[in-house]
Every structure is written in structure tokens, then in C-alpha cells.
Chains A and B, each alone.
Chain A
Amino acid sequence: MGPVPEQITWALPKGRILEQATPLLAAAGVEIAPALKSVGRKLLFDLPTGERVLLVKPVDVPTYVEHGIADVGIAGLDTLLEQGRDLYEPVDLGIGRCRMAVAQPRETAGGLRRGMTLRVATKYPRCALRHYRAKGIQPEIIPLFGSVELGPITGLADQIVDLVESGETLRQNALVEVETIFEVSSRLIVNAASLRLKQPAISRIIHGLRTTVEERARKVAASQ
């Protein structure tokens, strides 16, 4: 299954990122706010301007785009680096900013016991493994699907690798951030076949979003 000809299909992440993306998309000519209000719980709808929209779980956006079911999508760098997919990522939208970080209990912040296998709880096993291997550490990765902060508190793990935004969740659970692995933001992602077969339309989207993002950055810089 590849792209539907002559129509641009967007895979958009349900939730917080979508709210931040909506004004950017509108500025670039893709007006989804009215449709979002009127579609109720529908996960697939067409815009009056002709585009099709799929609303999917954020972590699934790259899957839809890589398989060509959607031509373009919006996905966080955390998801992209974890999944390692074959996609184009032409525009950093500058939204959904946070960081992938290592954290551990406050009382061990001075240093972990040496000579043991480091146990790391995370929702991002590949990113975590890459990070530790680069430091010459072979950790035991303990994959979790949520509430990763519980890992060190309960003794399941020594450290966690997780997304950190304000750091408030860490503080409330007596964890401290010890290292930033990489900065995260949301990207426009594009399917490789669509970039060729729908080249003019895709180029318009890329340029529209890039211009919008750059203007925003300039305004922010000017107001500071």
C-alpha cells in the first residue's frame, strides 16, 4: 500500500502536540481547527481544502508516514530516534520542546555503587542503549510503558532515561536529572515516495512551514 494519488494525507498526533501544531499549520495554509471541532471522535476526515487527516497516537505517526499511508506527519525527535525509520525530516517545528535525560534518586546523585550492572528503566530502550554504549557502559535495560519514575523509587532500576520538560515530575519523585542526552522537538516528517510523486505539493508544505517557523523565531528573538 502506497500513497493515494493526487491527495495529501496528514498523520497528526492526537493530544498536546496537535494543539501546538494547529496554529503553525494554519499559518502554512492547512486549516484544521474548524474540522477538529466538528468531527467529534472521528479519526479520519477530509478538509475543505482537499487534504485528508488521520489522527493517530503520537508514537504511531512515523509508521503511517513510512508506509506511505500518510504523505506527511508531525512527530517528536524522541520517537524518530527511538524508531530509526527511513523518513525525511525537513523542518524542525520548534514545538513540543523537552529533552531526553538521565535521572536518578537524589540520594545517589553523588555516584552510583561501582561494580554492579547498571539497571535503567525507560520507555526508550534503543535511545538508552545507544547512550550508555557510547560511554562504554553495558546496562541492563528495563523497558516500561509508563510511570518510569517509579523505577528507581521501588528499586527496580538505578537510573531512568525519559523525557523531561519542566523537571517537576522528577522533583516530586525525589529524582535529579544527571545528564541530557539530546534536545527534543517536533518535526515535519515526509514519506520518501511522496516527496517524488507529489513533489510540488510537498515542497509547498515544507516551505510554508519553514517560513512560518522562521518568522516565529524572529519574532521571539525581537521580543527578547
Chain B
Amino acid sequence: MTRDELNDYDWDSAVVDTSVFNPLPIGARDLLPTTSRRRRSNRERLLRVFEGWGYREITPPLLEYFEVHARGLSADMAERCVRFIEAGTGDVVALRSDVTPQIARVIAQRVGGEVEAGDQVRLCYAATSVRLPHGRHDRSELHQVGVECVGEQTPWADAELIGLADEALSALGSTAHRFDLSHTGVGRKLIAGLDLPKAVAKELRARLGRKDRGGVVDLLGSRCAPAQVDAVAELCELYGPPAILDRARELLAGVDAGEARAALEELRAVVEVVQRQTPAVAERLLVDLGEVRGFDYYTGLRMRVWAPGASEPVVRGGRYDDMLTRYGATLPASGLAIDLDALDEALMAADSGQADAAAPATMLAVQPGEPSGAGQRRARAAELAASLRRDGQRAWICAVAEVESALRQASRRGAQGLVWFASDGSVQRWREGAEGWSQQPS
């Protein structure tokens, strides 16, 4: 941990009596200066990569009409929207809980105008979404940087997302991340083909989601043909390097599941593009055919990127071709979002992702005294501060009673230099080195 890092943890907070007031709602967090600065640096570097790939940044609003926003959300996520009533209209307004539906709305609104038929639109964003805390996901804010690519439905467009995610993560120094690819069509079509009652299908998805092979067999054993049970149960084990796609192909050949086979071939096509175009990235690919969560959102490729040190995926993304349909335009769409909190965990664990070094900083401390003298000292300090800033340094002025407390304050605020304007008119220059503060000859 760097010294700057320690500074964030050292931020003394006075003990508050929570019976009088609670400082923060559940799930809300402060990002203190060092973390916040690293966050800004990561965000800007990621946006630069996205810009380099032709994505233009937009800033959608934090407020949406709930009815409109929820069209683009899964049922679970809609439930977690923070909502209130709009004054004057009585309409229900929600805080944004996901950026993708917003961008879908923005683009759908402009089809026929800014967006012509056949156009491709690439947009990126850095935004915070708000969700009611839920289970272990007790963060109420999700800080993301992401892209949306609208207008192309090809394996190359899907592979571009993978390449882009890899370049973005690598730009921040990530080396050990792994892509986890799935295709919602495989599980979805296979389950649809079983003609199960709704509640059973839901339970089946839950068990598949847990890779509970025995549970799947128990649930389906008496309801389906043995070959079908085998095929679905086998999904629990079909994860690993892309070579498992061959096993999946053999497995699906044995059952009547044309659409699931088509989905499998779509996924294979994406993997092959990555293998051909960027073999180094292909080394990072894993395939998971048992992944069935996120059904009411994704329609094709689904991608998660995992990195050591982060217990949540650092990137989530994929294809959602009916997202714009929900807003009145028929255009295929895909995208990804990087979770800045998870990314930070991973980068910290790998000891990378430090912010660019901050400019050197000097604190100018003015000792109070009788008014005219203090005014003169303050003016001299302001002049010095301005000249330091012209040289690219950081400089600020404080009124401080004693030099000792000025030195302590300078350390806490990350200054390496202190200039002390004493009330007797003298000026002292101090620097902080490995042994602490020492006065410099003037």
C-alpha cells in the first residue's frame, strides 16, 4: 500500500451517535481523495480507449420515467429501482438503474433523423446507476464505464466487444483476466423444447444456474426422455476452454434442438473470429454453456470478464437484440460495461492501476496576527502560490496558528513542502523527506 493509500484510511471520522443521526443510507459509500483520484484516472483512460475505437461519449440523465426505463430492465432489476412521484404530474420517476436502456431510448428516439436505416451507432458513457441494495450486493451505486454498439448483428461485432474489453483492461495493467462466454440461446432453446410448466422451468433455470447436475436430473427425470435429461444435465459441465464446444455439438446432435444448435454455432463463430484475429486474447477465453441467468435481457452472446482479486466480474456485456425494440426501433445491439469498483479491487490486488502521479504540492501557512500584517503576509503567500501553480505545482493557502500544526496538516493533505509565514514577518521553508519534516535554508 502506498503512503497516499494510507492517507485515505487515515481520514479520521469522529464517532457519531447513530441514535441521533445515521451518516449514510445503507449501500452508500464515500470515495475518499486517493481512491477518487485513481477512479478518475481509470475512468479517463478507459474512455480514451473507447474513443479510439470510435465510440462517442454521451451523458444520459439520472432520472427516467419508471415505465419507460423498466421496459429495458429485467424483472429483478425493475424491482430494485429507486422510485418517487413527479411533482405536478403524479408520474412515477426512477433513478437510473442501468445505462443500456437509456442509450437504447436515446437511439430509438432518433431513428429516421440522426440515425438512418442501416447506420451503425457507437456510443460510450461513464455513469453511476442506483439500485436498492440486495443480499450481498449491498452497494447501492454501480459505477460503470461502458459502450453500446447498435446496428450490427454479426460474429465480428461480438468479437469486437471481446477485443475492446481486452484492450481496455490491458491499458490499465490487467494481465490475468479471463473471459467467460456463453450464449443465452443454447440453454433457453433447450429448456423451451422440453415444454415444462412455468414453475418447473423456473426451478430448472435456478438449478442450472447453480450447476447442480444432480438437482437437474432429479427435477427432469420423470418428466422428459432420457436423452433430453442427459443433454440438459450435461450443460452443468459444459464449461472450460473453447474445446468444449465440440463436446456440446456432439451432445446436441443427439436431441431435437435445432435452435439450440444454431445458438451454439453462433457462439463458435465468435470464438473462431477471436482465435483468428487476436490469438493472444483467445488464450483468455472460457466458454460456459450452462449459464442461463440474465435470460430476460440478453438474446445472444453473453460475456463476463473475471480478474484475480475481484469477487464480481470486472466486465459484463453481450448482445441484446430486442432492447431497441422495447423503445420502438428494430435494431440489433450489443455492449459492455466495466464495473469500476470490481476493476479497482482487481488492480489493487495486482498492484497496478495507480493514478498518474500527482503534481508536487506545497502548503502555504499564514500565521494570524494583527490585521494589516496578516493581510500583507496573505498577499505574499498568494503571489508565491500563483507562481508555483504557473510552474505546474499544486499550492494552497491556510491560516494556521502554530508551525507544528501546519506541518501536521500539510502531511495529512499530501503536501511535500510547507512555507510558513510567521507573524513576526519571517518566512520558513520546510520539506518532508524520509525522516520527516526538515527546515530548508532560506
Interface residues of A (CB under 8 A from B): 1-3, 5, 66-68, 84-92, 187, 190-193, 195-197, 199, 203, 210
Contacts and interface: CB of A to CB of B under 8 A. Distances in A.
B136 interface: yes
B406 interface: no
A90 B213 contact: yes
B211 A2 contact: no
Interface string B174-217: 00101010000000000000000000000000000011111100
Contact of A67 (B214, B311, B349): B311
Interface in B339-354: 345-346, 349
26 contacts: A1-B345, A2-B310, A2-B345, A3-B309, A5-B176, A5-B308, A66-B136, A66-B311, A67-B311, A68-B311, A85-B136, A89-B210, A89-B212, A89-B215, A90-B210, A90-B213, A90-B237, A92-B214, A193-B313, A196-B178, A196-B306, A197-B176, A197-B307, A199-B178, A199-B239, A199-B241
A88 B210 contact: yes
Contacts of A3: 308-309, 311
Interface string B102-136: 00000000000000000000000000000000011
* Max chain A Cβ within 10 angstroms of own Cβ: one of B214, B215, B307: B214
Interface in B57-115: none
A85 B310 CA distance: 17
Nearest to B239: A195
B47 interface: no
A88 B239 CA distance: 12
A5 to B, nearest CB: 5
Nearest to A66: B136
Given A2-B310, A84-B135, A193-B306, A203 B178 contact: no
B308 A197 contact: yes
Nearest to B212: A89
Contacts of B240: 199, 203
Nearest to A4: B308
B210 A191 contact: no
A73 B214 CA distance: 18
Given A195-B239, A196-B180, A203-B240, A2 B309 contact: yes
Given A90-B212, A195-B239, A196-B180, 17 more contacts: A2-B308, A2-B349, A3-B308, A3-B309, A5-B176, A66-B136, A88-B210, A89-B210, A90-B236, A187-B212, A193-B310, A193-B312, A196-B306, A197-B176, A197-B306, A197-B308, A199-B286
A160 to B, nearest CB: 26
A68 B342 CA distance: 13
A91 B214 contact: yes
Contact of B286 (A85, A91, A196): A196
Interface residues of B, number: 28
A1 B309 CA distance: 6
B211 A90 contact: yes
A88 B311 contact: no
A88 B216 CA distance: 13
A49 B181 CA distance: 32
Contacts of B213: 90-91, 210
Interface in B287-339: 306-313
Contact of A86 (B136, B286, B308): B136
Contacts of B180: 196
Contacts of B212: 89-90, 92, 187
B349 A88 contact: no
Given A87-B210, A89-B211, A191 B311 contact: yes
Contacts of B136: 66-67, 85-86
Contacts of A197: 176, 178, 306-308
A88 B211 contact: yes
A12 B116 CA distance: 59
Contacts of B312: 193
B1 to A, nearest CB: 14
A199 to B, nearest CB: 6
Contacts of A210: 213
Contacts of B237: 90
Nearest to A193: B306
Nearest to A90: B211
Contacts of B210: 87-90
A86 B312 CA distance: 11
A119 B93 CA distance: 39
Contacts of A67: 136, 311
A194 B163 CA distance: 23
A66 B210 CA distance: 12
A154 to B, nearest CB: 34
A91 B215 CA distance: 9
CB-based closest 5 A-B pairs:
A68-B311, A92-B214, A2-B309, A196-B306, A88-B211
A1 B176 CA distance: 16
Contacts of A196: 178, 180, 286, 306
* Max chain B Cβ within 10 angstroms of own Cβ: one of A68, A193, A195, A199: A193
A190 to B, nearest CB: 8
A2 B311 contact: yes
A187 B213 CA distance: 11
A2 to B, nearest CB: 4
A140 B311 CA distance: 36
A193 B177 CA distance: 10
A128 B169 CA distance: 45
A192 B286 CA distance: 13
* Max chain A Cβ within 10 angstroms of own Cβ: one of B176, B307, B308: B308
A217 to B, nearest CB: 10
B225 to A, nearest CB: 22
A102 to B, nearest CB: 21
Contacts of A85: 135-136
B165 to A, nearest CB: 14
B239 A2 contact: no
A86 B213 CA distance: 16
Contacts of A84: 135
B187 to A, nearest CB: 15
Nearest to B311: A68
